[in-house]
Chain A
Amino acid sequence: QVQLVQSGAEVKKPGASVKVSCQASGYSLTGYYLHWVRLAPGQGLEWMGWINPHSGDTKYARKFQGRVIMTRDTSSSTGYMELRRLRFDDTAVYFCAREDKGMAGTYWFDPWGQGTLVTVSS
């Protein structure tokens, strides 16, 4: 079945970087945009950006520009999200999600990965 499986939890110090992976199965990674969304404690979902796995093109939310890099490895059907210069308020669960599209140009996220907890602690 179509699914996204993410890498395990990480603990990082402030100023460090973290790289989260998201492996696709049951479909071709290059056929759909891959988005990254995070959920911080007590907050709502927050969109970080997307990557077109076919071309490698990316688009990042203004808030994360300069700190986030999204890449992919088509040979292993895996997408990656690297967040640099981590701060305490980057502590969150990070999700990858496939963009699915309707006939009228509408789109939604389905499926989502199971989430990766990133804890920033000194």
Chain B
Amino acid sequence: QSVLTQPPSASGTPGQRVTISCSGSSSNIGSQTVNWYHHLPGAGPKVVIHSNNLRPSGVPDRFSGSKSGTSASLAISGLQSEDEGDYYCATWDDSLNGPVFGGGTRLTVL
């Protein structure tokens, strides 16, 4: 059972906008910044958003992140087939004194 809660799946057609939610508590999202990772089988995850809403260089501006209270969201606009894969939210948990992750959301581009 993951500390952060994400929907198991999401989908959209090319060009659409999708959002993925991540719910936590006051000991994690409520007091820390959130990062988002994209994972494809056979490779290591890649950061797409860090520090709630910052995009690393090389990540398209179609990706955006936000945080409010104890929840965070990842939005992907202009959906493309290459966006398929698993997305994980992550943050620090003060009670557990370590990083925690969501259970992952599998994004399918129809």
Contacts and interface: CB of A to CB of B under 8 A. Distances in A.
Nearest to B99: A47
Contacts of B42: 114-115
Contact of A108 (B35, B44, B96): B35
Interface in A34-76: 35, 37, 39, 43-47, 49, 59, 61-62
Interface of A: 4, 35, 37, 39, 43-47, 49, 59, 61-62, 95, 97, 100, 102, 104, 106, 108-115
Interface of B: 2, 33, 35, 37, 39, 42-47, 50-51, 54, 56, 88, 90, 96, 98-104
A106 B100 contact: no
Contact of B44 (A43, A62, A106, A111): A111
Contacts of A37: 101
Q: Is the interface of A mostly helix, strand, loop or mixed?
A: strand
Given A95-B44, A100-B50, 12 more contacts: A39-B39, A44-B101, A45-B37, A46-B101, A47-B99, A61-B96, A62-B96, A102-B50, A104-B51, A109-B35, A110-B47, A112-B44
A35 B99 contact: yes
Contact of A115 (B33, B44, B47): B44
B51 A47 contact: no
A44 B51 contact: no
Given A106-B51, A108-B50, A109-B37, A44 B44 contact: no
A119 B88 CA distance: 23
A113 B101 contact: no
Contacts of A39: 39
A44 B51 CA distance: 21
Interface-central residue, B43, B54, B98, by most chain A CB under 10 Å: B98
B46 to A, nearest CB: 7
A44 B103 contact: yes
